[in-house]
Structure 1
Amino acid sequence: MTDKPDWTGRRLEVEVGPVAHGGHCVARYEGRVVFVRHALPGEVVVAEVTEDPGRGFCRADAVEIRTAAPGRVEPPCPLADIARGRDRCGGCDWQHASGPTQRELKAAVVAEQLRRIAGIDREVVVRELPGGLLRWRGRARLAVDRDGRAGFRAHRSHRVVPAADCPITVADAVREVTSRKWRPGAEVEVAADADAEVHVTAHDRSRGRSRTARRVKGSGVAREEAAGRSWQLAAHGFWQVHTAAADTFAEVVSRMAAAPEGGVAWDLYGGVGLFAAGLAEQVGPTGAVVLVESSRRAVEDAVTNLRDLLQVDFRVGMVEDVVAGLPAPDVVVLDPPRKGAGRDVVEAVCAQRPARVVHVACDPAALARDVGLFAENGYRLAELEAFDAFPMTHHVECIALLERAG
């Protein structure tokens, strides 16, 4: 039996099929699946194979467009130009697509993941957030190459593509990093807050391979505005990346939660308290909100941010370890990491039989898995809102309302 040939570096002319989760589209060539980046459904492109695992699929980048789709546009960032070949920034997936096209592609991905993983057929509409496609990103992490130049990594690679600017990031933030040299191999975090203060921290790798953080600019404490409140938090702690997202998500979560006055609400993976604030207003002073978060610093920030809301109780720990000892809730809000909540957390929540669960998710596949688990435990998907909280990338934020059946 002979080994299959390695297609890496080979150029294939393909007709591009539907979009898939992960920022690429699906094509076929000689019986194999080809995942093509920088293409759009319906196009005919020449794609160069960038990775061939030797199985029934390979990965490729479009390097020439023979027949363009109506939604194709010129990328606003030179690092996304198709002429750069493999020397493209890996941070953006859809700069070659118009805004409406990007949102249509993301809606198709969410719907496909729900159908394939959870068995739910649902029409999905992805809403635009205020601010447009550019300069929406208030936080970013850059890598540094061997010459001390800051930039972003290529797709599925550790190679650094040096950058002078990043059109999706707040200008003052990214230029604060790209305008100077850094220690080779470092990573640099930057955040611009509501006061336009720019916070920069460098993470340098020592000879012992450990990393040390050093503050380069800013106080290290960011101030943000959302949900009618002022927030203070660690400059590089968790906060929504899109500058308009926190306010929008807080409004939608509160509307879906509709916690009863005098009731009990859980805010799982609660961060610095964004959603807990709205829940606390709903349950009032005679109710209770329990915020659970694994990051001690985030909980410390939450205590500071919500010190006027005495009905909020704060717990530090992993959600799966804490929920068993909490008072039974009327409503649960959960905003898990990208991998989702998982079976243990979903079953622990369902065992308490809350009337409603509001699930915030930044990965469609993880959302679909969790929704499927909730369905197994007697909860139906009652409402779904999706937002283009990461324009130019394949990422999409969803907020799902699950209600107990019967």
Structure 2
Amino acid sequence: MTDTVELAKGDIISVDVQRPAHGGEGIAHHDGRVIFVQGGIPGDTVDLEITQLKKNWARGHVVAVTTPSADRVDSRCPAAALGAGCCDYAELNPEAEMGIKTRVLTDQLERIGGVDKLPNLELHDLQPSAGWRTRVRLGVDASGRAGFRKLKSTELVTSAACSQVVPQLLDGLVGEGAQRFTPGAEIIAAIDDNGNRHVVESRKAPRGRRTETILKVLEGTGEVVQKVGDYTWTFNVSSFWQAHAKAPSAYSQFIASVLDGVELIDVDKRGPVAWDLYGGVGLFAPVITAKLGAHVHSVELSEGSAESGEAALGELPVTFHTGKVEGISSQLPSPHVVVLDPPRTGAGSDVIESIAQARPQLVIHIGCDPATFARDVADWSKHGFEMDQLAVFNAFPGTHHFETIGVFTRVS
């Protein structure tokens, strides 16, 4: 038996990256330890500096690629090439992204979700793969220059733009000759569906949270106009909207396809009822009402988003409720169908239990993190729901992020 070689922080070792890990890292092995490789692509051989060390695993970052993977390319993002944390897949061939992301999802569903048999994966690779982001949040350094935060750091890259962003969105905001802003502030910029750019200054939000407070409008009105199908929403530029220009229509079309031909059961004289949870401005409500003829109850924490939804969808049978899902869902009429789009932290066991107790016939669950989505899948199974469809949307090209939509039916 060979003893494990003692490692220490700062040591540099050579490893072969074997497979992807959740979070954009690669996985290697070294003398009995699992090694998480920041910046590693499956197929790489790299020199790695150890930055974190535990008994059975370690983590480090690549200091040199000695043998590149066949999927490694020159950085596609100028900001990421300078250390920004925006595009952690900037050196991954775009054609390999979907395969890696589905492998990560499958692994999470098997290990965390306890899923032993998956539905056939439906893959949606949203285009374009660069210049797709129509809204962005920038940090501002002590000199008033706006830029992108470095990975796991408060430092900023202010000299180059990110390749995700629609090019004209950052004109005059980032790079040489860019305007200056209030040091320590946050800049929010967006181009809406009327082609208007809006730039506002906001206060930096606490870590893991977002702020909707606008301190100063620098360009435009601060109110974006977004259109999907026959409906138009106007709302605060700091409010949530899907990042990829094609995502709102892609998700809406998928939900429409799921609801096509659904035969609702146990419909009483009140007619069909649907819940749209974490509903934002009510993006999916028109699809639900059109396909099911249902009265939609949308639950959203942001009062501004709910007000925008009411203004845009006033002629539809949609009722907006403002507050936390876990506090409001028990007060709603029992649904036949539930659509939920929780934040990155997932819905959680309490929310899923409350939905399950209402006994919907069908649930469409949108997840933006594979680990928390897998945890939620396990909870759906625990409460008698079976996953019939599973779709993956590469809606964040150049990054390890992606969107997953699971369709669940009640079986018990």
Match of 1:127 in 2: 124
Per-residue Cα deviation, 1:247-297 (whole angstroms, up to 9, x for no partner): 00011123224565941111111100111111122233xx41111111111
- Provide the C-alpha distance between the structure 2 equivalents of 1:342 and 1:100, rounded to a whole number of angstroms: 33
**Contact 1:257–1:333 under 8 Å retained in 2:** no
1:386 shift after superposition: 0.5
1:237 shift after superposition: 0.7
Write out aligned runs for 1:376-391 (5 A). Answer: 376-391=382-397
Match of 1:84 in 2: none
Classify 1:173/1:65 alpha carbon distance in 2 versus 1 (closer, same or farther; 3 Å): same
Name the aligned partner's letter for residue 68 of structure 1: P
* Secondary structure of the corresponding residue to residue 238 of structure 1: coil
Q: Which has the higher contact order (CA 8 A, sep 6+)?
A: 2
- Comparing 135-144 with 228-237, which one deviates more in the overlay? 228-237
- Provide the C-alpha distance between the structure 1 equivalents of 2:35 and 2:203, rounded to a whole number of angstroms: 38
Match of 2:379 among 373, 386, 390: 373
- Provide the C-alpha distance between the structure 1 equivalents of 2:56 and 2:141, rounded to a whole number of angstroms: 34
- Provide the C-alpha distance between the structure 2 equivalents of 1:315 and 1:26, rounded to a whole number of angstroms: 44
The percentage of aligned residue pairs carrying the same residue is: 36
* Secondary structure of the corresponding residue to residue 42 of structure 1: coil
1:53 shift after superposition: 5.0
**Contact 1:142–1:150 under 8 Å retained in 2:** yes
1:11 shift after superposition: 2.4
Classify 1:118/1:224 alpha carbon distance in 2 versus 1 (closer, same or farther; 3 Å): same
Name the aligned partner's letter for residue 45 of structure 2: V
- Provide the C-alpha distance between the structure 2 equivalents of 1:331 and 1:265, rounded to a whole number of angstroms: 5
TM-score, normalization by structure 2:
0.89
Per-residue Cα deviation, 1:88-145 (whole angstroms, up to 9, x for no partner): 11111111111121111101011111000111142645421132x2100111111122
Match of 1:45 in 2: 46
Q: What count of residue pairs does the alignment treat as equivalent?
A: 388
Match of 1:333 in 2: 339
1:329 shift after superposition: 0.8
Residue 364 (structure 2) pairs with residue 358 (structure 1): yes
- Provide the C-alpha distance between the structure 2 equivalents of 1:219 and 1:291, rounded to a whole number of angstroms: 27
1:54 shift after superposition: 5.0
Write out aligned runs for 1:215-230 (5 A). Answer: 215-230=217-232
Classify 1:226/1:124 alpha carbon distance in 2 versus 1 (closer, same or farther; 3 Å): same
Residue 112 (structure 2) pairs with residue 113 (structure 1): no
- Provide the C-alpha distance between the structure 2 equivalents of 1:227 and 1:70, rounded to a whole number of angstroms: 41
- Comparing 396-405 with 185-194, which one deviates more in the overlay? 185-194
Residue 305 (structure 2) pairs with residue 304 (structure 1): no
- Comparing 22-31 with 298-307, which one deviates more in the overlay? 22-31
1:403 shift after superposition: 0.5
Classify 1:79/1:315 alpha carbon distance in 2 versus 1 (closer, same or farther; 3 Å): closer
1:244 shift after superposition: 0.4
Match of 2:407 among 395, 401, 405: 401
**Contact 1:104–1:126 under 8 Å retained in 2:** no
* Secondary structure of the corresponding residue to residue 118 of structure 1: coil
Match of 1:265 in 2: 274
1:342 shift after superposition: 0.7
1:212 shift after superposition: 6.8
* Secondary structure of the corresponding residue to residue 173 of structure 2: helix
Query: Structure 1: which 5+ runs fail to align?
Result: 82-86
Residue 12 (structure 2) pairs with residue 11 (structure 1): yes
**Contact 1:201–1:213 under 8 Å retained in 2:** yes
**Contact 1:117–1:369 under 8 Å retained in 2:** yes
**Contact 2:79–2:160 under 8 Å retained in 1:** no
Classify 1:384/1:163 alpha carbon distance in 2 versus 1 (closer, same or farther; 3 Å): farther
Name the aligned partner's letter for residue 326 of structure 1: L
* Secondary structure of the corresponding residue to residue 274 of structure 1: coil
Classify 1:146/1:340 alpha carbon distance in 2 versus 1 (closer, same or farther; 3 Å): same
Classify 1:238/1:212 alpha carbon distance in 2 versus 1 (closer, same or farther; 3 Å): closer
Write out aligned runs for 1:5-404 (5 A). Answer: 6-8=8-10, 10-49=11-50, 51-52=51-52, 54-81=54-81, 88-121=83-116, 122=118, 124=121, 126-131=123-128, 133-178=129-174, 179-204=178-203, 213-258=215-260, 260=264, 262-284=271-293, 287-309=294-316, 311-404=317-410
- Provide the C-alpha distance between the structure 2 equivalents of 1:71 and 1:5, rounded to a whole number of angstroms: 30
1:204 shift after superposition: 4.5
- Provide the C-alpha distance between the structure 1 equivalents of 2:342 and 2:77, rounded to a whole number of angstroms: 32
* Secondary structure of the corresponding residue to residue 177 of structure 1: coil
- Provide the C-alpha distance between the structure 2 equivalents of 1:58 and 1:394, rounded to a whole number of angstroms: 20
